[in-house]
Amino acid sequence: MACYLCLDEKATIKGDLRKTVHCRNCGDYEIGRDLIEDIPSKLRTDHVRRYLSYKVRQMQGGATRPILYTDTINALLENISYPRPREQADNLVRWLGNQLAQVDPAGWQEIGWPEGGSLIGALTKDGFYRIRDQLIHKDKLVEIEQVEKRKISLTFAGWERYEEIMRGYTEERLAFMAMPFDVPELEDMFKNWLKPAVDKTGFELRAVNEKPKAGLIDDRILVEIRRSRFLVAEVSDKNWNVSWEAGFAAGLGKPVFYLCEKSKFESGKGMFDTSHQHTVLWTANNFAAAMEELKAAIRNTLPTEAKMADG
């Protein structure tokens, strides 16, 4: 079967009621039955398909597999906005650096069209190769010829830019809270439980308390995530902004700590499939235990930076 988003026929699809998709362009994602039925009417043009492929790829952050529903796609399509050329260039440098760091920093990675467009947010084949060629011209990338694609690597200048991107503007004692807006129970949990718990580990947990337009990640939020040492994501509900923020932070190499209401996690109704990584589960009557687990996760992940004991 072809990928539901980009129609690539080499995608692999498994599952029954909810499909798990592995696509060379869109990465790994899950798709609900409601969206499977609706998607032909929503993705009528290549422009829309390429945009969604990029957005879903960004949601993954190299660590998570987002679950797509009809309301997820509706939110995405309300504000179609491709990244600017500089951001596309940084996306390519960041992806390449992440890949090389895992295998061989002095090695090469193969990338071409259309998967390159999904990775960096380029609308056209010419646009993708223009970004790549500009990076080569600026001495950030080097390349070698191949039959159909090109292998690329980072120069010393490219690695310096990669370090700048990954470092961002991090302020060591800040943490970012990704959560839905206008949910009284979650706002109470943030104020009375999450913020005090994170404070005891030596970090200040912040949330942007103004709701951005539907489907639109505000520039202030991206700045705050870049400044933060790690991100805490509440993923109980199908909130696209939260999933994108978590993927963005993970893509920057920042630790992400997931929380989910226990019954939604066990039923698979959350936004992310986080079953393959540690997720702090909570219920209305076990906030205290959940906060102890969150503090332990932060301390285990950042043992040289976090306060290792309360008080």
Q: How far is CA 280 from CA 214, 294, 303, in A?
A: 27, 6, 19
Comparing 85-167 with 174-301, is the CATH topology the same? no
pLDDT at res. 146 = 57
Instruction: Identify whether the C-beta of residue 73 lies closer than 8 Å to the C-beta of residue 101.
Output: no
Any idea what DSSP says for residue 173? T
Task: Classify domain 85-167 at the CATH topology level.
Answer: Arc Repressor Mutant, subunit A (1.10.10)
Residue 209 has pLDDT above 80, yes or no: no
Scanning 151-218, the segments in alpha helix (DSSP H) are 156-167, 184-189, 195-199
Nearest to 54 by CA among 102, 13, 95: 95
Reply yes or no: is the peptide bond before residue 40 cis, omega within 30 of 0: no
**174-301 fold:** Rossmann fold (3.40.50)
Q: What span, in angstroms and rounded, lies between the C-alpha atoms of 266 and 282?
A: 11
The answer on pLDDT for 213 being more than 80 is no
Give the chain's mean pLDDT.
86
pLDDT tens-digit profile of 222-269? Answer: 888 888 999 999 988 878 788 888 888 887 888 999 999 999 888 876
* Bridge partners, 294 (sequence order): none
| C-alpha span between 131 and 185 (Å, rounded) | 45
pLDDT value of position 2: 92
R_g of the chain, CA atoms, integer Å:
20
Secondary structure of 255-270 in the HEC alphabet?
CEEEEEEHHHHHHCCC
Tokens of 232: 């805490």
CA 196 to chain centre: 26
pLDDT-above-90 percentage for the chain: 45
So where are the chain's domains?
A: 12-78, 85-167, 174-301
Helix (H) or strand (E) holding 139: none
Q: Look at the alpha carbons of 191, 192, 197, 203 in this order and tell me if their dihedral is positive or negative.
A: positive
- Give the model confidence (pLDDT) of 106-165 as tens digits: 899 999 999 999 999 999 999 999 999 999 999 998 887 655 567 899 999 999 999 888
Q: For the whole prediction, is pTM greater than 0.75?
A: no
Contact criterion met (CB below 8 Å) for 206 and 153: no
| Per-residue model confidence (pLDDT) at position 258 | 93
**Tokens representing 143?**
């390349």
- Weakest-pLDDT range from 122-126, 209-213, 277-281: 209-213
